[in-house]
Structure 1
């Protein structure tokens, strides 16, 4: 299985330096990863380095807790779009999901999806599976699909655990072929990556991209 184009090559640690970001950009270009995924501050820098390449620029929104107000998530999305982003990975309001306030969760997602889609951008939605039970994972995935996002995504990588095959299977069963499924967090080698894809993931968020492709 050729994994390169499944990979969002990810640098989200808060102490990431410009040198580390540039290293990730070089690795993504050399190995034709799908994207370089960074925090919003770095979007303009990454976009300028990737212009005229086949590697996308991606960033996180409302990260890592998801508890920003909707207007802030939209503003953050607008800034990232202005800076040249191609894909936005937003975090849901996890507390409202746990509280059963599904309408508010969906409205929050839809606001970012609408901002992204009117500008031709892909929007992925992180549901933070580590903090949800199986029924909540299924329901959250359905909400993401109903909100017309492009992907439902497992994890920030900053919670109690990352993705599991079980999470991905639940999410895939919930959304079918309506939208994509992205697994992220805790994927460190090829075996884990292939297991996620076999479970239904169509994109992977990883910082261990070079190890996964065997370099």
Structure 2
């Protein structure tokens, strides 16, 4: 597997609180240069970013991020606003407390409402695996499958741990047909990326792989 095969499933990501437009623009330029699947950026920059890339790159943003405990109405509004501003992919965070309370119907209903608000655009559901039991992870595979969302995603990258090989394997085994898996958080090498892909990850959330390419003869020979 060559680097381009890996990069084409990467959401090149910058979600730090201090992100400036200059930094976002660099993410966009690099994502276009290296042919990543999307650039995942804060919602406040979506409109400017969509105008800047002018259709050359899908813009992804995050909803209810990173804690997931906004009201459903708030998340739905965020989603509609992001789509109106040009986002083509949405990564939402579930209400983890509701999951732990066993309020499964409410968790599913929220995902369904946000998926509807996506208006045909891709929805990835972040379940924050590092905070869940194995049983809760499996339950979320079931809920996401029923919701119609396109992806289940491991992590925000803002909690105590990111994606693990074990979690991706577990999720791939328990999601229904047509649901894809995104691994995010802590993916720091192409070797790790390839292992996540082998285990069933269809998308990777990271900024480090593009940084590696830039450090290697500034991407020469790519």
Please give the range of the TM-score, normalised by the shorter of the 2 chains. Answer: over 0.9
Displacement of 1:176 after TM fit?
A: 4.5
Q: Deviations over 1:105-151 (max 9, x none)?
A: 101111101111xx221101000000001111111111011100000
| Aligned length, in residue pairs | 212
The structure with the largest alpha-carbon Rg is 2
**Any residues of structure 2 matched to 1:1-215 within 5 Å, and which?**
1=1, 2-53=5-56, 55-116=57-118, 119-211=119-211, 213=213, 215=219
CA contact (8 A) 1:193 1:212 kept: no
Displacement of 1:39 after TM fit?
A: 1.1
Q: Deviations over 1:14-55 (max 9, x none)?
A: 0011110010011011111110101110101111111131x2
The gaps in structure 1 that reach 5 residues or longer are none
Runs (4+) off by over 2 Å:
211-215
* Alignment RMSD: 1.1
Q: 2 CA distance for matches of 1:147 and 1:183? A: 19
TM-score for the superposition, normalised by structure 2: 0.93
The gaps in structure 2 that reach 5 residues or longer are none
Q: 2 CA distance for matches of 1:70 and 1:166? A: 30
TM-score for the superposition, normalised by structure 1: 0.95
Q: 1 CA distance for matches of 2:94 and 2:212? A: 28
Between 176-185 and 89-98, report the one with greater CA deviation.
176-185
Q: 1 CA distance for matches of 2:141 and 2:187? A: 20
